[in-house]
Structure 1
Amino acid sequence: MKLAPYFIVLILGLLQGALAVKAQQKSVIITFPDDTPDTVMLEAKRTITDAGGWITHEYNLFKGFAAKASSNALQTISTASTNFLPVIEEDQVVSVNGDLTKE
């Protein structure tokens, strides 16, 4: 009995599942008010990474970061704190002629 065809089917199935999870991630920029405690931002980052997302950039000039995150993680972040509401925007490239390109 040859196991190679079954092994290939298994690998292809796992690869398809992994690609489906990656496709569900949105590229976003999340910013918080200047008086937001660091613990609120750390919890937001943890929510993203625990849900399978990742932080792509941390900003120093303002309280915020860029990330790839699922819709569920973003919903959790947006409702987690009523005192320090985040602004969640889709990450886009803007050119000088006004064209928008999604990341």
Structure 2
Amino acid sequence: RANQARLKTAMEFGMRGIGGTDKFSNTLLRNVLAALHQAVKAEDTTVGRNWLRNELPSYWSQRNLIVEILNYIASIEHIENMPHWKEEARYARLLAELIRNDGV
């Protein structure tokens, strides 16, 4: 239904399709959503960060873009008609900060 259309959350996506043959499954956005899913599921942002480090060969060179994507997701936290994103938005803010300050 058109009036009930909304963006899927990271938890709704889960780990389905990661590494698949479709174009979305291998994008940076999909990997960030998967890492966010891992962080929320474990209730630990280091799990999400470690997942990105291990799964993205370009983690270090794309770190700033990863942080920007997470900051965008974090901005959804206070949007009234998107309460289903509240928990993931909070974790996105924490994960963005962890990745921003990540070092070798």
Higher relative contact order (CA 8 A, sep 6+): 1
Q: TM-score if structure 2 supplies the norm length? A: 0.26
Q: TM-score if structure 1 supplies the norm length? A: 0.27
